[in-house]
Amino acid sequence: MALWKNEILNSNKLNDLFILNFKKEFDWRTTLEFISNRTTFTKRQCSSEDTKERSYRIKNLLKDLPTYDTLCKRDVDALENNKCIRCDENEIETWDHVWICNDNEANLDEILRESISKFEEHLNKNGRSEDITILRNHNINIVTILEERSNILLGKSRIWEMLRGVFNDRFNHLTKSKEELMIIKECWNFIYKEFKTRIWLIRCEEVARLEKLKGIQKQDLRKKKRRREQDQREGDSEDENTENKKTNKKDKKKQKKEFDKKINIVTRDRLIGAVTDGNNIEYNWDLTPKSTDLV
């Protein structure tokens, strides 16, 4: 835990959470257990599902999900700009915009209240009647805490703390019973997943559909402009080298042709001179380079 907290404390992306940390609003132990997905998997367990979920939670905490704003800052080649392609508001698709985009099927408050009912249905399906009683005793308090103004993220409700995966310490004071606190935390986790499922995952599906219409593929979002320019320069360099090789080959061929021509001229003149002088060329014929004109 100490190592985790040290790394987080030194991250500039979490300044908004730590700038008022002296108020001790957050339960960091529970938060770090949640971010590292220890609520579902143990330290000894590892799977692709665990890896993906931890990756999502960490990126969410850092507000570093692959939104258009983030991708443009990474200089991705396929994107024209950082505007949200789901809505018509012409707004930059920042991490904040994702959760309040007009294209979302419901707003944050609606999803919060509906999630409480869904969690109760989940408990009922699994025959957990005692846990349903606990939930009903605390559901109003859970909603109230989340809808209240955050003392850390100024101008926002505590729902935005939950979206980051940060567990507010006020939940720990709702009860002194460990069993009841476990149900409260389980409900908190359930609501967090509902936000992910009903907003982020749907957003990803819709963006993928719109990108496909534009001819943008997933691998295109991983290629940066600088890399493309470098590839283009390398391609131009290869073309230039190829052209130079062709030119050199032509020059060598031309030089060889001129050289052979000179040899032919010398050979012809030598043989003609020998005949004119009355010499028999029978003895030096095989030793004399032949001119194509005489062969």
Per-residue model confidence as pLDDT tens digits over 18-77: 888 778 899 999 998 999 887 665 555 567 788 889 899 999 999 999 999 998 888 887
Same domain, 262 and 210: no
pLDDT above 60: residue 287? no
- Provide the b/e sequence for 8-39 (b: ≥16 CB within 10 Å): beeeeebeebeeeeeeebbbbebbbbbbbbee
CA angle 248, 249, 253 (to 5 degrees): 115
Domain total of the chain: 2
Same domain, 174 and 263: no
Same domain, 158 and 272: no
Same domain, 98 and 35: yes
**Considering only 2-11, 30-39, 192-201, 264-273, which range has the smallest mean pLDDT?**
264-273
Same domain, 80 and 175: yes
Same domain, 289 and 174: no
Q: Does any domain span residue 80?
A: yes
pLDDT above 60: residue 120? yes
CB atoms within 10 A of CB 271: 19
Q: Does any domain span residue 243?
A: no
Same domain, 25 and 79: yes
pLDDT above 50: residue 285? no
Full residue range of the structural domain in which residue 144 is found:
2-108+140-179+196-223
What is the three-state SS of 81-100?
Answer: CCECCCCCCCCECCHHHHHH
**Considering only 5-19, 127-141, 167-181, 255-269, which range has the smallest mean pLDDT?**
255-269
CA angle 106, 109, 111 (to 5 degrees): 50
pLDDT above 90: residue 157? yes
pLDDT confidence tier of residue 228, bands split at 50, 70 and 90: low
Q: Does any domain span residue 123?
A: no
Q: Which two tokens stand for residue 237?
A: 């360099």
pLDDT confidence tier of residue 294, bands split at 50, 70 and 90: very low
Helix (H) or strand (E) holding 26: none
Which among 78, 81, 82, 80 is positioned nearest to 69, based on CA atoms?
82
Q: Does any domain span residue 104?
A: yes
Q: Does any domain span residue 126?
A: no
The 8-class DSSP code of residue 17 comes to H
Q: Does any domain span residue 190?
A: no
Same domain, 99 and 54: yes
Same domain, 270 and 170: no
Same domain, 77 and 171: yes
Query: Which whole-number Å values give the CA distances from 245 to 26, 231, 256, in the listed order?
Result: 68, 21, 16
**Considering only 39-48, 247-256, 270-279, which range has the smallest mean pLDDT?**
270-279
pLDDT at 282: 52
Same domain, 214 and 79: yes
Same domain, 158 and 12: yes
Strand partners, 149: 157
Which among 57, 70, 76 is positioned nearest to 96, based on CA atoms?
70
pLDDT digit string (tens) for 205-223?
A: 999 999 888 888 777 676 6
Q: Does any domain span residue 26?
A: yes
DSSP helix/strand/coil, 80: coil
Which among 174, 169, 167 is positioned nearest to 188, based on CA atoms?
167
Q: Give me the mean pLDDT over the 247-261 stretch.
A: 70
